[in-house]
Amino acid sequence: MSRFHLILFVFFIGNNGAFSQTKIGKYIKFADAQYLKGDYYYALQYYKKALEIDSNSIDLLWKYAETFRSYKDYRNAEYYYNKVYKREETRLYPNSLLYLALMKKQNGKYNEALKLFKLAKRAYAKTKKKYRYKKAKQEFKSCLWAIDYQNNLTKDSVYALPETVNSYDAEFVHTVHDGQLIFSSLRADSISNKEEVYSKSYKTKLFSSLIYDTVYQENKIINDLLIEDFNTGNGTFSPDGKTYYFSVCEDEGYNYRCQIWRTDYDNGSWSNPIVLPGVVNKEGSNTTMPCYGNLKGKDVLFFSSNRSGGKGGMDIWYTRLNYKGKEYYKPKNVRKVNSLDNDICPWWDTINQKLYFSSSWFPGFGGYDIFESLYEGSFTTPKNLKRPINSQANDIYYFSNNDTLYFSSNRIGSMSKKNPTCCSDIFTVTPPPIVFDDIIDTAITVEILNHFVKRPPVKMYFHNDRPNPNSTDTITKLNYLSTYQSYKGLLETYKAKYSNGLTEQKALEAQEDMEEFFLQYIDRGVKDLDEFSEILLIELNKGGRFKLTIQGFASPLAATDYNVNLTKRRISSYMNYLKEYHGGVFLPYLNETASNGGALLVEYSPYGENTADQQISDNPSDKKKSVYSIRAAKERRVEIQSVSFLKSENTFPLTVPKTVFDAKTVFNGQKIGAYFSMVNTSDTVVLIDSIVTSYNDIFVEIDSKTLNPNEAAVVKMYVNTSEIRGINARHIDISLIGYTEKQRLSIISEVIEYQKK
């Protein structure tokens, strides 16, 4: 978060620097003092000197690792935590394994971190009420999530703001008002190449940068908001723009204690800064990061605070206030978005009634990720904004202004002289200069679908002999989600049965293994099913025609004929899920009555126990192995094995999910681009004969004119709007050899004159 003070330290070494405990003691004492002050750079220098004398000291290695973590040098922190853990295996420093795993995660090594969090859960299993066990358990889930989404597709691009705003110091973005970007920064008078800081007053201050014609001008300090010996930062305006709320903080070794203040703003001038009353700034607590909003017609001020009554660390709260900001009501805790860790940087989207914030608890890629929660009478479960907004580092202070998203991050790529993740810069996500359509690519669509059905297949798991036990029926009235909820309710039973008869430590490990099975297989299967269903529905709504191949499995506890019927019931529960999904939206496609021609065919094969693991017990008296073992539970499932295109009933062989791109309003001279994808859904090779247009302002590219069966081609269509005004449409027609029908692709837009601000 910060660069560090230069501490002038004169050290008498004595008699040619001979080794002595006095010498190493002085190094450690000085380093400890700098660490407590937050001067991590100098603490590292003197811990390093001490380690050069005694490299085997585990206490010194621990201090060194801790300081690297505080310095946000995740790579070195990982290296030294690993040294500590290998020597003491949590006996001396119980958190060594947890912190090693966290650093692995913040270095993007999610698979390695997952294994370590699993070890940490076992190491801390005897103290399940303590934070470190709960954190390890939550981070295990978080790594599973990160592994799933680390390569998710996105077209958004992230840009760092120029050096008129960003610097080698830390920048935290807050708002845009009156055509100027307002941010805070911890800046020194100068910084050496080794990140040594030279400054008379090293405090966080507020700055502004005028935005002229999309260019950020050289920033200026807001002198009117300087408060001697205090840090100032954060900030939000009232709806009329006349009141600015901000944070004023004192720091003790970078442990900030803040209060929220308000100041008047008029035509570029700031005046009358005053502290908010005690109902907001509770005595003895840290209250900071204000954000003004309107929650269902009521003016509120969101903020983050560690006051009593929260869930842990910094929580997000809000207080109602009158329009003039002179009366405040008892704050309420936004419990749905708060956690045991810090939940900070609230930003309220009044139009969409969404709360954005950063948290280090909920499933994410890094340290702090940015989340959103929709207000619908109550706040919804936080949803991660994913990449590219979130990274493996700390991503904080999100807000949007018009069509530009802003946030601060210390991700790799931020400005630094030595430690690449030392300090935050301000980043934006903005529309590209060319207006591109969504890349509607059928081949990509199939790849997305296959992500869930081939790597690995979508798997739905069942309790023994469920649904409808002791039955030879081949159908059930139950929806798969109902069977899943019942299965989830048996977790404690499974843990008890699976660990029965084992020693205390082995029993704890067996219970952890069972919890992980429920999380990694049963819960994950439902999550995959939900995401797969969403994508499938999107493609069907475009007129896609698909075939799902379903297979059923059972453990070998019952006779083969009985298991065949059992797997048919399990497949039947999935069909009920499809039929009842969101009120029956799949029914027209299942019945092939959809007006857009979309269709969904389900082909299934109940394998019974024929493919079951033959090492699984089929002894009904040995239920620990035949029913409650993980190996047996893995066999009781239904899989969506594959998705394939159905041949179109239309003789024309090209399937184009989207044929028209609406660019909406653009400026004249702006180039419009759209990517259209076509897939050959026939059994023969298709040859493109020609691409014809009657407009001379269109440019077209195609990556292939020969399409094998199920192969796709992308058509790139560009329109130069220099000579176009008003509402217009531009078309191209694609002809195939051997077919009289043509495929038309279109771009429509409204072109207006560009006017400089």
Is 610 inside a domain boundary? yes
Domains held by the chain: number: 4
Is 757 inside a domain boundary? no
Is 427 inside a domain boundary? yes
DSSP states of 512-563 as a string?
HHHHHHIIIIIIHHHHHHHHHHHHHHHHHHTT-EEEEEEEE---TTS-HHHH
Q: Is the domain of 723 the same as that of 628?
A: no
Is 534 inside a domain boundary? yes
Separation CA 635–CA 463 (nearest Å): 10
- Which range, of 211-220, 254-263, 453-462, 652-661, averages the lowest pLDDT? 453-462
Which residues does 300 contact at the CB level (< 8 Å), separation at least 6?
292, 293, 294, 318, 319, 320, 321, 348
Neighbouring C-beta atoms of residue 671, cutoff 10 Å: 15
pLDDT of residue 15: 44
Separation CA 101–CA 114 (nearest Å): 8
CA 708 to chain centre: 38
Q: Is the domain of 183 the same as that of 267?
A: yes
Positive/negative CA dihedral, 378, 380, 385, 390: positive
DSSP states of 294-318 as a string?
EETTEEEEEEEE--TTSSSSSEEEE
Q: List C-alpha distances in Å: 219 to 167, 204, 223, 384.
A: 11, 15, 12, 32
Q: Is the domain of 594 the same as that of 680?
A: no
> Is the pLDDT score of 475 beyond 80?
yes
DSSP states of 121-159 as a string?
HHHTGGGTTSHHHHHHHHHHHHHHHHHHHTT------EE
SS (H, E, C) 439-483: CECHHHHHHHHHHHHCCCCEEEECCCCCCCCCCCCCCCCCCHHHH
Is 436 inside a domain boundary? no
pTM: 0.77
Q: Is the domain of 288 the same as that of 359?
A: yes
Q: Is the domain of 423 the same as that of 331?
A: yes
Q: Is the domain of 481 the same as that of 512?
A: yes
Residue ending a domain, choose from 89, 124, 149: 149
* Count of CA atoms in the C-beta half-sphere (13 A) of 491: 16
Q: List C-alpha distances in Å: 336 to 64, 135, 237.
A: 37, 18, 26
Q: Is the domain of 238 the same as that of 257?
A: yes
For residue 239, cis peptide bond before it (omega within 30 degrees of 0)? no
Residue ending a domain, choose from 86, 114, 149: 149
Residue 515 near residue 507 (C-beta atoms within 8 A): no
pLDDT of residue 757: 43
pLDDT by residue (tens digit) across 707-754?
998 888 999 999 998 888 888 889 999 999 888 888 889 888 888 876
pLDDT of residue 155: 56
DSSP 749: E
Of 309, 349, 631, nearest to 498 by C-alpha is 631
Q: Is the domain of 363 the same as that of 395?
A: yes
Residue ending a domain, choose from 431, 461, 494: 431
Of 707, 619, 725, nearest to 665 by C-alpha is 725
DSSP 597: -
What's the angle, vertex CA 403, arms to CA 414 and CA 666, rounded to 5?
125
Give the pLDDT band (50/70/90) at residue 469.
Answer: very high
Separation CA 561–CA 607 (nearest Å): 10
Q: Is the domain of 102 the same as that of 145?
A: yes
Q: Is the domain of 462 the same as that of 559?
A: yes
> Is the pLDDT score of 651 beyond 80?
no
Q: What are phi and psi of 190, to 5 degrees?
A: -160, 160
DSSP states of 623-641 as a string?
HHHHTSSHHHHHHSEEEEE
Separation CA 202–CA 190 (nearest Å): 11
Mean pLDDT across the chain, nearest whole number? 86
Separation CA 141–CA 362 (nearest Å): 9
Which residues does 116 contact at the CB level (< 8 Å), separation at least 6?
97, 100, 101, 104
Is 564 inside a domain boundary? yes
Q: Is the domain of 180 the same as that of 221?
A: yes
- Which range, of 27-41, 194-208, 542-556, 684-698, averages the lowest pLDDT? 194-208
pLDDT of residue 17: 47
Separation CA 7–CA 196 (nearest Å): 9
Strand 742-752 to 660-667 pairing: parallel
Is 198 inside a domain boundary? yes
- Which range, of 269-273, 644-648, 732-736, averages the lowest pLDDT? 644-648
* Count of CA atoms in the C-beta half-sphere (13 A) of 70: 22
CATH number at residue 89: 1.25.40.10
Provide the 3-class DSSP secondary structure of residue 729: strand
Instruction: Tell me the mean pLDDT in the region 423-443.
Output: 64
Q: Is the domain of 509 the same as that of 625?
A: yes
Domain that holds residue 297: 158-431
pLDDT by residue (tens digit) across 348-400?
999 999 999 999 999 999 899 999 999 999 999 999 999 999 999 999 999 99
